[in-house]
Amino acid sequence: MQKLFLPAALMVAMVLPVWGFEQQVDRSQAYYHFMLGLLKERSQNLSEAIEQYREALEHDPKASDIFVRLADLYVQTNRVPEAVQDAQSAIQKDPNNKEAHRMLGQIYLEKLYGNETNRQDLTNAIREFQAVHKIDPADDSAMLALGQLYLQANQPHAAAEILGKYLDNNPDSQQAIMSIASAFQQLNQPEKAITYLLKYSQLNPDNLYVAQQIADIYVKAGNHSAALEFQRRAYEADSDNPAMIRKYVDLLGRNQRYAEALSLVEARLLIEPDKLEWVVLQAKTYQKWGKQEQAESILKSRMAANPEDVDLALSLVQIYEEGSKFPDAVQELQRMLQTVSAKEGDERERKTNLAMIYSHLGYVNHQTKDYERSTEFYQKARSYVDPEDTGKFDFYIALNYRGLNRWNDAIELLNDVLKQDANDTDAWELLSFIYEEKGDIENSDKIIQHLIDTHPNSLQYPLMKAERLQKREKYPESIEYLKTMLIEFPEDDRSLFLMGAASERLKKYDDAEDYFKRVIDLSPQNADALNYLGYMLIDAGTRIQEGLDYVKRALEIDRNNGAYLDSLGWGYFKLNQLEMAEDNLRQALVTLSDNAVVNDHLGDLYFKLGKFQLAIQHWEKALQNKTNEIDTVFVGKKIADTKSRLP
């Protein structure tokens, strides 16, 4: 037999007992072919390496390690089924072969990210890396892989636990830090996510991705002032990235630093004066600053030179819509409709533009509660899109049917949408609301339970259940249900908010105040909590100025919110500052024209001003749209008493 010369490192390896059996002739031959296979593999002659490993198995069919080597080569040569088979054979021969389990797990990972993705590959990958972790609990790579797989499988608890162990040994791993932060976000525990990210950021202050994730978490928690510093870092690390610029400008605006935001946008416009993105961002920043006319002027001046620019015109329409200037929006949309209909050119582009114009006309008419006309426009928009895109228009048409109390038509249409996409959660939610409004509590609850069951790691649908209980005035049941959620998620601001709302309804005002203050501590810019607490204090009549301060903070965050303006107006009414009360209550009426509470408040105001006929009109409108938020019997008595005062 020809003498085989091997590298020194492999000669050392040859004297070690690889498989743990006493050396026999067949084992010697197996080892010989195994070593030849290694040499062929290292010289990238993979087909001959496979032949040598197969030959080795002829002499030792129980050698688990040889199956692992073969599986690896099959993966490299895209022979995945054979790779799986040999990795499984390795495990069958030796269930504690860690590398065999790792190899099989990696094969499933390759399949998972390839073209043949299916849920079973994810389950299989988790199983194999769990086996690696069980065999060797100190194996760092297995822990990291498991953590990321658990995240993908929507198992954030398991992900956080295993990644925490990994980070004990690898505190500087950016991959693990980002993953564990994502796990805690899924668990709605942003404070824990922030803790890990901040610790890492202190060691790596220039890391763009970590700074951005910290900013995003703070934004989600409503802490815009804390978010701004990290968004600034992310922006400075990548200042030419349009996404970074948009996020930084947005946060500057949320912190009322509008001049800085505009300065940044205008600097971009000097570099790229014709880029529509910066023009629109400039206009929107002015609008958020409360300067509606400047916002409109910027876009109108651009349109004077480009009257047929559809994107520019639609941007102006959005400015009108955001400013609740719906007649102006309709006028611009009608102009666009004429321009696009008459324009010759690419037919597909024309249809796309018409679909957008009609969809905006549908939206505007929905906002003004002309549901019939809105439906007509949505149906026209629907006719210009591909069949697979019609579902989103059907959803909006169903919203109009809801506004018209055409429950059965809405239900039928939404069921058609769900036949096309059973995972359309928006359609499921709307369907539940419609059953609820129709009085079909059983089907409403079935849908909520379906959403809870199909999204086990989401708090959104349990919160919907708690809200629904409160809508039915089952406040004690809602509180008991929320308490079970708070055991697992003690710092979930949404659950705490609902606890506050239910407590207020039960006249447990001290409890309600405590819950709302906890929400505000966790999310300082939670405008709804600020407004609810402020209104509660105002309505009690004992701490009116303190209540007004909370409401003003809410309006700094959302200056055009009708509910917040109503609270402010009611506060001024309580302080007998009737002119300011009227100004704010009438502003609230712009967006909440049919709201029972706003109309009831205006009725009280006009009664106090001696304008009895106006008072009666608003009280009657409050009764037309009565909800459990007003005492309808008392409002009726106010109307009767006031009518008796008329000449």
Neighbouring C-alpha atoms within 13 Å toward the C-beta of 321: 18
Q: Give the pLDDT of residue 192.
A: 85
| C-beta atoms surrounding 597 within 10 Å | 19
Long-range contacts of 241-250 (CB under 8 A, 24+ apart): 242/277, 244/212, 245/281, 246/281, 247/212, 247/215, 249/281, 249/285
- Hey, which of 219-233, 598-612, 628-642 has the most confident mean pLDDT? 598-612
Q: Give the pLDDT of residue 401.
A: 97
Return the residue matching tokens 């203050």. 517
Neighbouring C-alpha atoms within 13 Å toward the C-beta of 116: 9
Round to whole Å and give the CA distance between 619 and 633.
11
* Residue 116 confidence class, pLDDT cut points 50, 70, 90: low
Round to whole Å and give the CA distance between 71 and 85.
8
Q: Is the pTM of this model over 0.75?
A: no
pLDDT greater than 60 at residue 458: yes
Q: Using CB atoms within 10 Å of the CB of residue 49, give its burial: 0 to 12 exposed, 13 to 18 middle, 19+ buried.
A: buried
Round to whole Å and give the CA distance between 90 and 71.
9
Buried/exposed code over 254-268 (b: 16+ C-beta within 10 A; e: otherwise): bbeebeebbebbeeb
Long-range contacts of 46-49 (CB under 8 A, 24+ apart): 46/73, 46/76, 46/77, 47/77, 49/73
Round to whole Å and give the CA distance between 105 and 473.
51
Q: Using CB atoms within 10 Å of the CB of residue 348, give its burial: 0 to 12 exposed, 13 to 18 middle, 19+ buried.
A: exposed
pLDDT greater than 50 at residue 243: yes
Round to whole Å and give the CA distance between 384 and 352.
7
Helices (H), 95-154: 98-112, 119-135, 140-152
Average pLDDT over residues 627-640: 87
pLDDT greater than 90 at residue 202: no
Q: Give the pLDDT of residue 64.
A: 61
pLDDT greater than 70 at residue 58: no
Contact 403, 366 (CB under 8 A): yes
Buried/exposed code over 171-202 (b: 16+ C-beta within 10 A; e: otherwise): eebeebbbbbbbbbbbbbbbebbbebbeebbe
Q: Give the pLDDT of residue 419.
A: 93
Residue boundaries of the structural domains of the chain: 306-377
Average pLDDT over residues 348-366: 95
Round to whole Å and give the CA distance between 50 and 340.
65
Round to whole Å and give the CA distance between 582 and 585.
5
Average pLDDT over residues 612-635: 88
CA-nearest of 516, 512, 537 to 527 is 516
Percent of the chain with pLDDT over 70: 86
Round to whole Å and give the CA distance between 419 and 602.
46
Q: Give the pLDDT of residue 29.
A: 64
pLDDT greater than 60 at residue 338: yes
Distance of CA 153 to CAs 44, 129, 262, Å? 36, 14, 43
Q: Take residue 557 and report the two structure tokens written for it.
A: 């965050």
CA-nearest of 260, 268, 331, 320 to 289 is 260
Round to whole Å and give the CA distance between 107 and 90.
14
pLDDT greater than 90 at residue 343: no
Number of residues assigned to the chain: 647
| Gyration radius of the chain over CA positions | 33
> Which one has a higher pLDDT value, 326 or 221?
326
| C-beta atoms surrounding 347 within 10 Å | 8
pLDDT greater than 50 at residue 637: yes
pLDDT tens, position by position, 97-108: 777 787 778 877
Round to whole Å and give the CA distance between 406 and 397.
11
Round to whole Å and give the CA distance between 64 and 95.
9
Q: Give the pLDDT of residue 81.
A: 76
pLDDT tens, position by position, 463-489: 999 999 999 999 999 999 999 988 878
* Residue 591 confidence class, pLDDT cut points 50, 70, 90: confident
pLDDT greater than 50 at residue 8: no
pLDDT tens, position by position, 544-580: 999 999 999 999 888 889 999 999 999 999 999 999 9
pLDDT tens, position by position, 508-540: 999 999 999 999 988 888 899 999 999 999 999
Q: Give the pLDDT of residue 71.
A: 64
Buried/exposed code over 304-336 (b: 16+ C-beta within 10 A; e: otherwise): eeeeeebebbbbbbbbbbebebbebbbebbeeb
Average pLDDT, the chain: 87
Average pLDDT over residues 244-260: 94
Concatenated DSSP letters of 318-344: HHHHHTT-HHHHHHHHHHHHHHHHH--
* Residue 629 confidence class, pLDDT cut points 50, 70, 90: confident
Concatenated DSSP letters of 4-25: ----HHHHHHHTS-SSSS---H
Q: Give the pLDDT of residue 74.
A: 60
How many Å from the N-terminal Cα to the C-terminal Cα in the chain? 127
Amino acid making up residue 620? E
Q: Which of 97-111, 195-209, 438-452, 457-471 has the lowest mean pLDDT?
A: 97-111
Round to whole Å and give the CA distance between 66 and 37.
10
Round to whole Å and give the CA distance between 558 and 479.
28
Q: Which of 193-197, 362-366, 395-399 has the lowest mean pLDDT?
A: 193-197
CA-nearest of 28, 45, 34 to 10 is 34
pLDDT tens, position by position, 369-399: 999 999 999 999 999 999 888 989 999 999 9
Q: Give the pLDDT of residue 105.
A: 80
Q: Give the pLDDT of residue 418.
A: 95
Average pLDDT over residues 162-174: 90
